[in-house]
Structure 1
Amino acid sequence: MINKINKMLGVMLVSSMLFASCEKNIDLSPTDTISNETAITKYDDLDRAVVGAYSNIAYTQSLFVNTIMADEARWAIDNNARNYGLPHKWAFDAGAGDAQAAWANLYNVIDRVNRALAAYDAVAVSNTTQAAAKPRLKAELLAIRAFAHAELLRWFAPTYENNSLGVVIMLQSDILGKPQRSTFGQVMTQINADFAEADALMPSTFTDIFRITKPAISAMRARAALYAKDWANAKLYASQAIALKGTLATGAAYANIWRDSNTSETYFQLRRNSNTGSVRTLWTDDNTDVFFSPSYKLIDTYNTVTDVRYNAFILNDAAVPSSRERWKVNKYPGQDATNRFNNIKVFRVSEMYLILAEANAELNDLGGAATALNAVRAARITGYVNEVFAAKAALIDGILLERFKELAFEGHRFFDLRRRGLPVVRNDNDITSGAAIPKTLATNARNYILPLPQDELFANPAIQQNPGY
Structure 2
Amino acid sequence: MKQLGLMILGIFCIFLLNGCSDFLEEKSQDEVIPKTVEDYNELLLNYMGYTDIWSVLYVLSDETGIGEKLLRSDTDKDDYRAVEIKGVFTWQPDMWETESVGVNSAYEDTYKLIMGVNAVLDGIDEATGDQKTRDRIKAEALGMRGFYYFFLVNLYGEPYNYNKDALGVPLKLTAALEENGIARATVGEIYEQIVNDLEASSKLFSNLPKQRGDYRINGTTVDILLSRVYLFMERYDETIAAADKAIQSAEGLTDYTALPGDTEFFMPTYDHSEVEWVYGAVSLESGMHVFAPARELMTYFEGKEDRREIFWFENNTKDEVQINKIAYSYQSVPNNTIRVSEAYLNRAEAYVLSGQANKNTLALADLNELRRHRIVGYEDVTIADETELLAEIREERYVELCYEGHRWFDLRRYGMPSISHDYKARSSLPWVTYTLREKDPLYTLPFPTTVFKNNIQLKQNPSAREPERTGEIKSN
Assess, with a 3 A threshold, how the Cα gap between structure 1 residues 449 and 136 changes in structure 2: closer, same or farther: same
Structure 2 residue aligned with 1:293: 292
Assess, with a 3 A threshold, how the Cα gap between structure 1 residues 132 and 400 changes in structure 2: closer, same or farther: closer
Aligned mate of 1:240, from 245, 263, 275 = 245
Aligned mate of 1:197, from 177, 200, 205 = 200
Q: Distance in 2 between matches of 1:150 and 1:248?
A: 25
Corresponding letter in the other structure for 1:102:
A
Deviations for 1:268-292, whole angstroms, at most 9, x for unmatched residues? 112x7xxx535796632xxxxxx11
Structure 2 residue aligned with 1:159: 159
Deviations for 1:156-196, whole angstroms, at most 9, x for unmatched residues? 21222332322221111225341111112211221122222
Q: Distance in 2 between matches of 1:36 and 1:381?
A: 57
1:395 lines up with 2:389 in the alignment: yes
Residues matched between the structures, number: 415
Q: Distance in 2 between matches of 1:431 and 1:408?
A: 24
Q: Distance in 1 between matches of 2:420 and 2:366?
A: 28
Query: Offset at 1:463?
Result: 1.5
Tell me, yes or no, if the aligned pair for 1:296 and 1:427 is still in contact at 8 Å: no
Aligned mate of 1:105, from 102, 109, 112 = 109
Structure 1 residue aligned with 2:210: 206
Deviations for 1:238-264, whole angstroms, at most 9, x for unmatched residues? 111111116221226677452636230
1:265 lines up with 2:268 in the alignment: no
Return 5+ residue gaps in structure 2 as ranges. Answer: 1-10, 15-25, 72-77, 465-476
Tell me, yes or no, if the aligned pair for 1:50 and 1:116 is still in contact at 8 Å: yes
Structure 2 residue aligned with 1:140: 140
What is the SS of the residue equivalent to 1:293?
Answer: strand
* TM-score, normalization by structure 1: 0.80
Aligned runs of 1:257-406 on 2, under 5 Å? 258=267, 260=269, 262-270=271-279, 277=282, 283-284=288-289, 291-303=290-302, 306-317=305-316, 319-320=317-318, 326-333=320-327, 342-364=333-355, 365-406=359-400
Q: Distance in 1 between matches of 2:79 and 2:284?
A: 22
Structure 1 residue aligned with 2:84: 84
Corresponding letter in the other structure for 2:248:
A
Corresponding letter in the other structure for 1:376:
L
Deviations for 1:24-82, whole angstroms, at most 9, x for unmatched residues? xxxxxx9999769961112321111111221x542x322x2222222211112244522
Corresponding letter in the other structure for 1:104:
E
Query: Offset at 1:201?
Result: 2.1
Deviations for 1:108-151, whole angstroms, at most 9, x for unmatched residues? 111111112222233122xxxx3431221111111111111111
Structure 2 residue aligned with 1:457: 452
Corresponding letter in the other structure for 2:33:
A
Aligned mate of 1:41, from 16, 20, 35 = 35
Structure 2 residue aligned with 1:182: 185
Structure 2 residue aligned with 1:61: 53
What is the SS of the residue equivalent to 2:278?
Answer: strand
Query: Offset at 1:99?
Result: 5.9
Query: Offset at 1:439?
Result: 4.9
* TM-score, normalization by structure 2: 0.79
What is the SS of the residue equivalent to 2:337?
Answer: strand
Q: Distance in 2 between matches of 1:294 and 1:303?
A: 14
Structure 2 residue aligned with 1:16: none
Deviations for 1:419-450, whole angstroms, at most 9, x for unmatched residues? 11142435889999646542531123332221
Tell me, yes or no, if the aligned pair for 1:258 and 1:342 is still in contact at 8 Å: no
Mean Cα deviation higher: 203-212 or 235-244: 203-212
Tell me, yes or no, if the aligned pair for 1:279 and 1:341 is still in contact at 8 Å: no
Assess, with a 3 A threshold, how the Cα gap between structure 1 residues 417 and 406 changes in structure 2: closer, same or farther: same
Structure 2 residue aligned with 1:70: 61
Return 5+ residue gaps in structure 1 as ranges. Answer: 1-29, 285-290
Deviations for 1:374-428, whole angstroms, at most 9, x for unmatched residues? 2212211112222222222212211121111111111111211111114243588
Tell me, yes or no, if the aligned pair for 1:304 and 1:310 is still in contact at 8 Å: no
State the superposition RMSD in angstroms. 3.1
Assess, with a 3 A threshold, how the Cα gap between structure 1 residues 302 and 427 changes in structure 2: closer, same or farther: farther
Mean Cα deviation higher: 450-459 or 346-355: 450-459
Q: Distance in 2 between matches of 1:149 and 1:295?
A: 28
Tell me, yes or no, if the aligned pair for 1:57 and 1:105 is still in contact at 8 Å: no
